[in-house]
């Protein structure tokens, strides 16, 4: 780590970026902060300079959240990424951790947790809340594999989420930089894995599982 801690904060809400910077400045004096308001800016910064840690809002307006995470880890594979999200950790934390994130904080708890989370992640460990850690521990050894959508690949999960919020096949293709045919293939796989028949079934499943709050993850 450099003498000066370098932090990239990627969030599309300026008040969140400023709040994070203010909180961290108190506990990490001399830290250098770089802000990004969208995925393109975050990737540009990650290509221009090295960071000690990246704070990433997984819900960004211009790219799929998991795609952003993957791209950032490609650019800076050794830099830990701490995900900050509006979504409940029971739905998304395990998925982003599997995708390479070093920690997950819900935005409703960020003021209380961000300093301890940053310290833990900088020390080379992973950070999840005590509640999530207990839930994950309780699932060890169980015969079940959790909810059905946990068996989906990252791309299949994204297609499910976008269908669930009403995106058309062409819109999904554009959002994920895929062909319409490829999106259709993913849709079929999702239906098969979830044992569903129609897009309406997908929408109802997503609503029931709490996956429709936002389309960016």
Could you tell me the CATH number of the domain that includes residue 155? 1.10.10.10
- Whether residues 131 and 156 share a domain: the answer is no
Distance CA 217, CA 156 (A): 12
Higher local confidence (pLDDT), 207 or 188: 188
Q: How confident is the model at residue 141 (pLDDT cuts 50, 70, 90)?
A: low
| Segments forming the whole domain that contains residue 19 | 6-139
Buried b / exposed e over 90-119, threshold 16 CB at 10 Å, is ebbbbbbbebbbbbbbbeeebeebbeebbe
Distance CA 199, CA 130 (A): 36
- Is 214 within the bounds of a domain? no
Mean pLDDT of 72-90: 88
Cβ proximity of 202 and 190 under 8 Å: yes
- Whether residues 114 and 154 share a domain: the answer is no
Cβ proximity of 161 and 167 under 8 Å: no
Extract the tokens encoding 15. 């008040």
Identify the pLDDT of residue 106. 87
pLDDT surpasses 70 at 3 = no
- Whether residues 107 and 153 share a domain: the answer is no
Judged by DSSP in three states, 131 sits in: helix
Q: Of 87, 121, 139, which residue constitutes the final position of a domain?
A: 139
Cβ proximity of 127 and 117 under 8 Å: yes
Instruction: Give the chain's domain count.
Output: 2
- Whether residues 134 and 153 share a domain: the answer is no
- Whether residues 116 and 174 share a domain: the answer is no
Strand order in the sheet with 81-85: 32-36, 6-10, 53-57, 81-85, 103-106
Compute the mean pLDDT over every residue in the chain, rounded to the nearest whole number.
Answer: 85
Identify the pLDDT of residue 130. 75
Mean pLDDT of 183-208: 89
- Is 110 within the bounds of a domain? yes
Distance CA 45, CA 114 (A): 22
Distance CA 159, CA 169 (A): 9
Identify the pLDDT of residue 85. 85
């Amino acid at each position: 780590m450099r003498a000066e801690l370098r932090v990239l904060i990627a969030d599309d809400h300026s008040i969140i970026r400023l709040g994070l910077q203010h909180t961290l400045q108190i506990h990490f004096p001399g830290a250098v902060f770089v802000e990004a308001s969208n995925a393109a800016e975050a990737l540009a910064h990650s290509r221009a300079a090295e960071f000690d840690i990246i704070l990433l809002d997984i819900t960004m307006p211009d790219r799929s959240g998991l795609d952003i995470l993957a791209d950032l880890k490609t650019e800076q594979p050794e830099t830990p990424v701490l995900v900050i999200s509006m979504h409940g950790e029971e739905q998304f934390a395990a998925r982003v951790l599997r995708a390479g994130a070093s920690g997950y904080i819900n935005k409703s708890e960020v003021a209380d947790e961000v300093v301890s989370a940053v310290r833990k992640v900088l020390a080379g460990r992973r950070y999840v809340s005590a509640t999530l850690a207990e839930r994950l521990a309780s699932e060890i050894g169980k015969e079940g594999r959790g909810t059905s959508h946990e068996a989906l690949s990252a791309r299949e999960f994204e297609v499910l989420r976008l269908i669930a919020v009403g995106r058309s096949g062409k819109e999904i293709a554009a959002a994920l930089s895929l062909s319409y045919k490829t999106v259709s293939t993913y849709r079929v796989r999702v239906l098969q894995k979830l044992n569903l028949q129609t897009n309406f079934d997908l929408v109802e499943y997503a609503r029931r599982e709490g996956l429709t709050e936002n389309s960016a993850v």
